[in-house]
């Protein structure tokens, strides 16, 4: 053997370093890509309402863990998936526009002009964004509600209803619930509506009830009166929970009884349960293409999480512009291990939102990301763009593809790898049009948003007490 080594031709000695470098590179590339299996349509076509109404919950230590399912899973029954996947993006854009206009208004003037903060309400719009559902018990009745970190007031549709969309559970009827009480319009609770909903409370016709309005900007809204009631989150009862009894609700929450607001202001569920759960909640959003459950965990004992990597925390940036929302400091992005070098990082916070689907980046950042992605994901047939998504491929001939890892860096050296199911959005279910699931904002001054499509299979911990947000990898499941 030794002899053979001695006899190695000179050429090989010269090329050996290059050879090793080449191998190292390959290993490196291998580490920075992940396989995506292109399931050409395993989506369930049936509705699983009974399954969702009996979503489970459990108590572990001081935390309550609620099972969580994607909206599609619960209320599926969709005939034309392609049309649905497409319209979802359009409504997603409406939500982003309205978030941006709320921020702009708050920046340009601290004086809230009520007529100005009312977003135009378009009727008949069906919200078809990717939302997540949990089951809670209000006044002893089970209700499926959508979780939303971008708003505060929790509400359900109420009897007698002036205008309600169709929902699966019977409507909540305050008249037959002995634990329900309406909230007076001269109370401080009624006054806190201004900061929680951007609309001040108003006295009802009998000069006693406190009327509220919340509009969500994707055309959906709820109006009604504030009340309090016993809320059961799994086995934990929250007495006198303040919520909206919605008598005029439009839209988009199709099938669900209402919405659970997980924002930061006084009326949010997080603030109202502060003494029980210490202002901490977390979730793991499951991939929408599977039957997997996710979980919403109230309470901050991290030993109850099922994370596979340690939780690392970045601080929340406080923003007076949108005090109810959660902002982070995104300091960098890499694609397949290659750091992007645009000038646009750290020029402000990034909002993290459970109700926006597609992540939005400043134009300079998005351009750099797209260029690097196309460099590494090359040789695939292109497909036309769709709506806000401009980088698309026809992958109908492939069973699986290797895609570069998208990694986000946040202040305090936090690194988050986006789950492989969060990179491509399927416009066509046969994979003949799949698009990079990120989009550009319309100008550099708008605020970036981390959407739910890029939050899948992560444990995301919102700690409002310590004002920090934690990330860890977790394959979502309830058990």
Ligand X SMILES: *[C@@H]1O[C@H](CO)[C@@H](O)[C@H](O)[C@H]1NC(C)=O
Is 394 near ligand X (CB under 6 A)?
A: yes
d(C-alpha 175, C-alpha 158), whole Å: 10
- The window from 224-232, 249-257, 267-275, 392-400 that contacts ligand X (CB under 6 A) reads 392-400
Q: What does the block give as tokens for 247?
A: 């008598």
Catalytic, 148? Answer yes
Q: Three-state SS for 108?
A: helix
Is 444 near ligand X (CB under 6 A)?
A: no
Catalytic residue among 152, 218, 353, 419: 353
Give the residue with the Cβ less far from ligand X, 253 or 326: 326
| Nearest partner of 221 among 144, 132, 324, 124, judged by Cα | 124
CB of 350 to ligand X, least distance (A): 10
d(C-alpha 452, C-alpha 326), whole Å: 14
Q: Are 451 and 356 in contact (CB under 8 A)?
A: yes
Q: Are 198 and 112 in contact (CB under 8 A)?
A: yes
Is 432 near ligand X (CB under 6 A)?
A: yes
Catalytic, 353? Answer yes
CB of 397 to ligand X, least distance (A): 5
Which of 76, 263, 278, 349 is the binder for ligand X (CB under 6 A)? 349
Give the residue with the Cβ less far from ligand X, 167 or 189: 189
- The window from 196-204, 231-239, 353-361, 394-402 that contacts ligand X (CB under 6 A) reads 394-402
Tell me how many degrees the CA angle 365-371-375 measures, rounded to the nearest 5: 145
What is the pattern of x (binds ligand X, CB under 6 A) and - over residues 306-325?
-----------x--------
Peptide bond into 160 cis (omega under 30): yes
Is 397 near ligand X (CB under 6 A)?
A: yes
CB of 240 to ligand X, least distance (A): 16
CB of 458 to ligand X, least distance (A): 21
Count of residues binding ligand X (CB under 6 A)? 16
How is residue 419 annotated by DSSP? P
DSSP state string for 428-447? STTSSSEEESEEE-SSTTSP
Phi, psi of 49 (to 5 degrees): -50, -50
- Run of H or E including 449: strand 448-450
Give the residue with the Cβ less far from ligand X, 95 or 360: 360
Phi, psi of 326 (to 5 degrees): -110, 125
What is the pattern of x (binds ligand X, CB under 6 A) and - over residues 65-104?
----------------------------------------
Q: What does the block give as tokens for 172?
A: 């909540």
Q: How many residues does the chain have?
A: 479
CB of 297 to ligand X, least distance (A): 28
CB of 15 to ligand X, least distance (A): 39
Give the residue with the Cβ less far from ligand X, 298 or 368: 368
Which of 248, 331, 364, 376 is the binder for ligand X (CB under 6 A)? 331
Question: Rg of the Cα trace of the chain?
Answer: 24
What is the pattern of x (binds ligand X, CB under 6 A) and - over residues 28-67?
----------------------------------------
Q: Three-state SS for 331?
A: strand
Phi, psi of 159 (to 5 degrees): -85, 150
Is 203 near ligand X (CB under 6 A)?
A: no
- 144 burial (CB, 10 Å; 0-12 / 13-18 / 19+) is buried
Write out the residues near ligand X by the rule CB under 6 A.
Answer: 184, 186, 208, 317, 329, 331, 346, 348-349, 383, 394, 396-397, 411, 432-433
Give the residue numbers marked as catalytic.
148, 353
């Amino acid at each position: 053997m030794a002899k053979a080594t001695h006899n190695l031709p000179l050429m090989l000695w010269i090329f050996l370093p290059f050879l090793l470098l080449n191998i190292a590179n390959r290993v490196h590339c291998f580490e920075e890509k992940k396989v995506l299996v292109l399931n050409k349509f395993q989506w369930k076509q049936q509705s699983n309402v009974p399954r969702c109404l009996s979503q489970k919950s459990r108590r572990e230590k001081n935390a309550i863990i609620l099972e969580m399912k994607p909206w599609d899973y619960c209320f599926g029954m969709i005939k034309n998936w392609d049309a649905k996947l497409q319209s979802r993006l359009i409504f997603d854009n409406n939500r982003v526009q309205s978030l941006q206009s709320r921020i702009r208004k708050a920046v340009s003037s601290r004086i809230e002009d009520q007529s100005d903060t009312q977003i135009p309400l378009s009727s008949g719009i069906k919200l078809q964004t990717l939302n997540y559902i949990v089951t809670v018990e209000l006044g002893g009745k089970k209700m499926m509600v959508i979780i939303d970190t971008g708003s505060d007031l929790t509400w359900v549709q109420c009897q007698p209803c002036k205008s309600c969309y169709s929902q699966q559970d019977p409507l909540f009827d305050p008249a037959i619930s002995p634990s329900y009480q309406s909230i007076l319009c001269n109370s401080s609770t009624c006054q806190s509506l201004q900061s929680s909903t951007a609309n001040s409370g108003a006295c009802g016709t009998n000069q006693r009830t406190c009327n509220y309005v919340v509009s969500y900007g994707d055309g959906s809204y709820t109006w009604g009166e504030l009340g309090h009631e016993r809320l059961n989150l799994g086995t934990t009862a929250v007495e006198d929970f303040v919520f909206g009894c919605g008598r005029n609700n439009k839209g988009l929450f199709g099938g669900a009884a209402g919405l659970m607001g997980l924002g930061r202001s006084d009326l949010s569920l997080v603030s109202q349960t502060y003494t029980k759960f210490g202002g901490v909640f977390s979730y793991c959003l499951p991939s929408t293409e599977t039957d997997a459950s996710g979980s919403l965990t109230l309470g901050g004992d991290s030993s109850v999480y099922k994370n596979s990597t340690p939780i690392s925390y970045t601080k929340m940036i406080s923003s007076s512009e949108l005090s109810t929302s959660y902002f982070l400091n995104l300091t960098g992005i890499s694609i397949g291990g290659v750091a992007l070098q645009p000038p646009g990082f750290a020029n402000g916070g990034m909002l993290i939102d459970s109700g926006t689907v597609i992540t939005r980046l400043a134009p300079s950042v998005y351009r750099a990301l797209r260029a690097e992605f196309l460099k590494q994901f090359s040789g695939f047939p292109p497909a036309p763009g769709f709506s806000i998504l401009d980088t698309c491929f026809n992958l109908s001939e492939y069973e699986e593809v290797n895609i570069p890892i998208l990694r986000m860096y946040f202040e305090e050296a936090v690194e988050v790898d986006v789950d492989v199911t969060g990179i491509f959005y399927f416009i066509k279910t046969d994979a003949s049009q799949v698009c990079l699931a990120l989009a550009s904002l319309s100008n550099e001054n708008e605020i970036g948003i981390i959407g739910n499509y890029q939050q899948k299979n992560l444990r995301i911990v919102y700690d409002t007490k310590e004002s920090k947000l934690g990330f860890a990898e977790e394959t979502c499941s309830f058990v």
